[in-house]
Amino acid sequence: MKHNQTIATPEDYIHAGYGVRSWLFTVDHKRIAILYLLSITLFFFVGGFFALLLRLELLTPQGDLVSAETYNKLFTMHGVTMVFFFLIPSIPAVLGNFLVPMMVGAKDLAFPRLNLLSWYLYSVGGLFTLYAMVTGGIDTGWTFYTPYSSSYALTNVVPVVIGLFILGFSSILTALNFIATIHRMRAPGLTWFRLPLFIWAMYATSVITVLGTPVIAITLVLLGFETAMGAGIFDPALGGDPILFQHLFWFYSHPAVYIMILPSMGVISEVVTCFARKKIFGYHFMAFAIMGIAVLSFLVWGHHMFVSGQSIYVGMVFSALSFLVAIPSAIKVFNWTATMYKGSISFHTPILYAFGFIGLFTIGGLTGLFLASLATDVHLTDTYFIVAHFHYIMVGGAIMGYLAGLHFWWPKITGRMYNEAWAKFSALILFVGFNLTFFPQFILGHLGMPRRYYVYPDEFQVLNVMSTAGATILGLGYIIPMVYLIWSLRKPRDVGENPWGATGLEWKTPSPPTTHNFESTPVVDGDPYQYSPEERA
């Protein structure tokens, strides 16, 4: 590591102002990123606490730790918290906010005040939902299927729906900001095909967010009207159609899966090429694959509904389109692997998380084939196979990618290096704990154990015990980084502007960067990722 570069002068973004007001009224994208980092970390541990209680309840086949009502609320609130308040904002709102302007050579996002508004909307939506969860909870599952949610659930459906509706605007505003910034504020010479893949990923994610989020917002409003006033939209007893809700819900919520995973793919691309000291393999294919995934993500929602009663021919069309999404995903995995070939690989923490990501995402992606395939999906859908599959994508994929990024850019964000021994240890613990938690769930699903079951037949216990044991290790794996990352803040700054020897404009700023990032507008005169294996990290 190159620790011998200039240590940042005090007028960095952290020391640009003091006191709570200087943070709550900041328009600096980097400070807003820190606000998001704190908020989503809070929600992550809230959601994780729910998960811990779920896994403890499932240690035994009978219901013992909590009541059935509580269990149903716990898995609902786990899903709602993790999906809407952690996964969707995680990389875009924290790393994206921090890095997008720097990576394109700009002083800030296009609309700094709008950016602050995004965080306030997130916070209001989050507090509203948290309040609804604490004062009674919600038990509909994060999918809110009608008519259960609208006509039968006796829990806080309307307040949660209002919270999520507010939250949606936060996503939309951040996405608009990114799109405008990437289009209009690139440094001279930074053409589209010179952009880092992280920017491509942020761009694709933003496009999906802007197109998809309004649909879920409208759907939630309709659900709220039906729940509160009995508008007959989804409940057949009122003249509605419950399948319509599923179409509208998944029209957003399937693309939302890509809102969660594309940013991680962007991070992994940055990390792999940096620590392999080799230009990313197939840059153009990687960029097109990102955009291809974004387009296809809107055409596959029906694969959540193969047993719902939708037409079997519609099911076939969605099945074929779902198989198509596998191709750009495969292209990405093969290209990362090929990037390592004949590189010069040094094993710092970020690439360990990247290895974890590639392995777990591969398993998550391949098990997706079982679910895109109609005949096998009939058996596997709504079982623990689904639960395992999407946790491989969202936890094994999205969170591993988030942690890879957090470890990669932590020195840039804070000006300090964390303890790498602990960091590598926690990457290993997470990988082991994750697989022990979720792999048994594939087998449980194939054996036929339905998801969202509070009690279950005895023969499923051994695999559930394994899963709970794994979850304990996994939980530990999330607490260790909290400790050593916070610990790193206690020591004086110890990294220069570019500790990893990485390319990219963000590494040309001091660590931590100054408020306006660059002293003068940078000029770009070549391709990204100009690494060479001879020059080693």
Partner 1 sequence: MWSFPLLPDRASTVATQVDMLYFFLVAVSLFFSLVIIVGLVYSAVRYRKDSKASREGAVHEHLGLELAWSIIPLGIAMGIFVWSSVLYLGMHVAPSGAMEIYVVGKQWMWKIQHPQGNREINELHVPVGKPVKLIMTSQDVIHSFYIPAFRIKQDVLPGRYSTQWFQATTPGVYHLFCAEYCGTSHSGMIGKVIVLDQPEYEAWLAGGSSTAMSSSGAELFKQFGCQTCHKSGSSQRGPSLDGLFGKQVALINGEKVVADQEYLRESILNPAAKITQGYLPFMPTYRNQLSHEQINQLVEYVKGLGGQTSASEHP
Site size for partner 1 (CB under 8 A) = 96
Contact segment (CB under 8 A) with partner 1 among 125-133, 184-192, 443-451, 494-502 equals: 443-451
Q: What is the DSSP string of 150-191?
A: III--SSHHHHHHHHHHHHHHHHHHHHHHHHHHHH-PPTT--
Q: How far is the CB of 474 from partner 1 (least distance, A)?
A: 21
Q: How far is the CB of 421 from partner 1 (least distance, A)?
A: 18
DSSP 471: H
Nearer to partner 1 by C-beta: 117 or 280? 280
Q: How far is the CB of 15 from partner 1 (least distance, A)?
A: 36
Among 338, 469, 473, 524, binds partner 1 (CB under 8 A): 338
Site for partner 1 in 83-142 (CB under 8 A): 139-141
- Distance CA(290)–CA(287), nearest Å, equals 5
Nearer to partner 1 by C-beta: 164 or 372? 372
Among 136, 137, 232, 448, binds partner 1 (CB under 8 A): 448
Site for partner 1 in 382-401 (CB under 8 A): 382-383
Contact segment (CB under 8 A) with partner 1 among 89-97, 252-260, 427-435, 440-448 equals: 440-448
Q: How far is the CB of 118 from partner 1 (least distance, A)?
A: 32
Q: How far is the CB of 198 from partner 1 (least distance, A)?
A: 17
Site for partner 1 in 281-300 (CB under 8 A): 281-285
Whose CA is closest to 48, among 407, 433, 383?
Answer: 433
Q: How far is the CB of 393 from partner 1 (least distance, A)?
A: 14
Q: Supply the Cα-derived Rg of the chain in whole angstroms.
A: 23
Nearer to partner 1 by C-beta: 189 or 236? 236
- Distance CA(500)–CA(514), nearest Å, equals 19
The structure tokens listed for 460 are 């499923």
Q: What would the x/- binding string for partner 1 be over residues 489 to 528, using CB under 8 A?
A: ----------------------------------------
Among 23, 45, 131, 148, binds partner 1 (CB under 8 A): 148
Contact segment (CB under 8 A) with partner 1 among 65-73, 104-112, 125-133, 509-517 equals: 65-73
Whose CA is closest to 176, among 124, 120, 110?
Answer: 110
Bridge partners, residue 12, by sequence: 514
- Distance CA(381)–CA(306), nearest Å, equals 9
373: contact with partner 1 by CB under 8 A: yes
Nearer to partner 1 by C-beta: 93 or 331? 331
Among 339, 468, 511, 514, binds partner 1 (CB under 8 A): 339
Kindly report the three-state secondary structure assignment for every residue of 41-61: HHHHHHHHHHHHHHHHHCCCC
- Distance CA(297)–CA(260), nearest Å, equals 12
Nearer to partner 1 by C-beta: 92 or 504? 504
Among 38, 134, 295, 378, binds partner 1 (CB under 8 A): 378
Site for partner 1 in 458-477 (CB under 8 A): 458-463
Q: 325-336: string of b/e by CB count within 10 Å (b at 16+)?
A: beebbebbbebb
Helix 112-134 crosses helix 157-184 at what angle (to 10 degrees)? 160
Q: What would the x/- binding string for partner 1 be over residues 198 to 237, using CB under 8 A?
A: -------------------------------------xxx
Asked if 350 and 279 count as a contact pair (C-beta separation under 8 A), the reply is no
Q: How far is the CB of 341 from partner 1 (least distance, A)?
A: 5
Q: How far is the CB of 501 from partner 1 (least distance, A)?
A: 12
Q: What would the x/- binding string for partner 1 be over residues 237 to 266, using CB under 8 A?
A: x----xx-----------------------
The structure tokens listed for 134 are 């604490």
The structure tokens listed for 235 are 């409940």
69: contact with partner 1 by CB under 8 A: yes
**Torsion region of 105: left, alpha or beta (phi above 0 gives left; psi -120 to 50 gives alpha):** left
Asked if 91 and 147 count as a contact pair (C-beta separation under 8 A), the reply is no
Q: Positive or negative CA dihedral for 126, 129, 130, 131?
A: positive
Site for partner 1 in 2-61 (CB under 8 A): none
- Distance CA(260)–CA(364), nearest Å, equals 14
Asked if 272 and 336 count as a contact pair (C-beta separation under 8 A), the reply is yes
280: contact with partner 1 by CB under 8 A: yes
- Distance CA(239)–CA(150), nearest Å, equals 13
As to burial, measured by CB atoms within 10 angstroms (0-12 exposed, 13-18 middle, 19+ buried), residue 505 is buried
Nearer to partner 1 by C-beta: 154 or 229? 154
Among 23, 450, 469, 494, binds partner 1 (CB under 8 A): 450
278: contact with partner 1 by CB under 8 A: yes
Q: How far is the CB of 532 from partner 1 (least distance, A)?
A: 9
Q: How far is the CB of 326 from partner 1 (least distance, A)?
A: 5
Nearer to partner 1 by C-beta: 97 or 319? 319
As to burial, measured by CB atoms within 10 angstroms (0-12 exposed, 13-18 middle, 19+ buried), residue 311 is exposed
Q: How far is the CB of 511 from partner 1 (least distance, A)?
A: 23
Nearer to partner 1 by C-beta: 201 or 305? 305
Q: In the Cβ-directed half-sphere of 418, how many Cα atoms lie within 13 Å?
A: 26
